[in-house]
Amino acid sequence: MTRVLVVEDDPQLVRALVIDLQARHYGVDAAPDGATALRLAAARQPDVVLLDLGLPDLDGVDVIKGIRGWSRVPILVLSARQASDEKVSALDAGADDYITKPFSMDELLARLRAAVRRTEDIPLVPETTLVTTEHFTLDLLAKKAVRDGRDIRLTPTEWHLLEILVTNRGRLVSQKQLLREVWGASQSNKTNYLRVYMAQLRRKLETDPSRPRHLITKPGMGYRFEG
């Protein structure tokens, strides 16, 4: 059974989420504040976390950072905050997805399923498990990135994107293919997801993110890894 930790201080929304998730055979734990969320995350080891940013004791970004200190569990932010800097802060802290309230339950469930799928091991051919460029090295099996001698933390979603691009090194991967494989078929038109995550990857890996040498965009078509 997939276990979900819901971190939300609105009791009506918590009740609705618990009912809907349990009806679909998910195990559910709920936390009304950040401190409880961190305790339950450690004790219950959920498969995915649904997290509101506006908690009564801690900012949700601090909860993300707390969980990321020891776990790679997928974290989906559920928030009424729509400003782009709020989204970037959550993604920078280690969130895997950002869903703006109000949202449909069908969309939430699709993104939850996609997040859980991304945690499954992806079989890779041996020669593609270690990628070395002039400035960074990627160990896809160990999920380790090193740039200029320093460890770089990448989120599970960022790793999934990299794995697809690296295993197709030198070949263009279409936007639709990336969206379908990483976020699910229902999200195959959400090209803004790719823009956000590719910008994040360039910022973390490229020497000059504005003039990338390895993570190449073909406008309107897709992305290619050169290494």
Nearest to 60 by CA among 14, 15, 94: 94
Interacting residues of 144 by C-beta distance below 8 A, sequence separation 6+: 138, 151
Q: 224 with 194: CB under 8 angstroms? A: no
Helix axis angle, 175-183 to 191-205, nearest 10°: 90
- Within 10 A of 54 (CB to CB), how many other CB atoms are there? 13
Print pLDDT tens along the chain (227 aa).
Answer: 899 999 999 999 999 999 999 999 999 999 999 999 999 998 888 999 999 999 999 999 999 989 887 787 899 999 988 788 888 889 888 898 999 999 999 999 999 998 888 766 444 444 557 888 988 999 877 888 999 899 999 988 888 888 889 888 888 888 888 887 787 766 667 788 888 999 999 999 999 999 999 999 988 888 999 97
Give the chain as a DSSP string.
--EEEEE-S-HHHHHHHHHHHHHTT-EEEEESSHHHHHHHHHHH--SEEEE-SB-SSSBHHHHHHHHHTT----EEEEES---HHHHHHHHHHT-SEEEESS--HHHHHHHHHHHHHHTSPPP--GGGSEEE-SSEEEETTTTEEEETTEEE---HHHHHHHHHHHHTTTS-EEHHHHHHHHH-GGGTT-HHHHHHHHHHHHHHH-SSTTS-SSEEEETTTEEEE--
* Count of other CB atoms within 10 angstroms of residue 143: 14
- The answer to whether residues 225 and 216 touch, using CB atoms and an 8 Å cutoff, is yes
Contact call for residues 71 and 107 (beta carbons, < 8 A): no
Q: Are 160 and 201 in contact (CB under 8 A)?
A: no
pLDDT reported for residue 32? 97
pTM of the predicted protein model: 0.58
Distance between CA atoms of 201 and 151, rounded to whole angstroms?
14
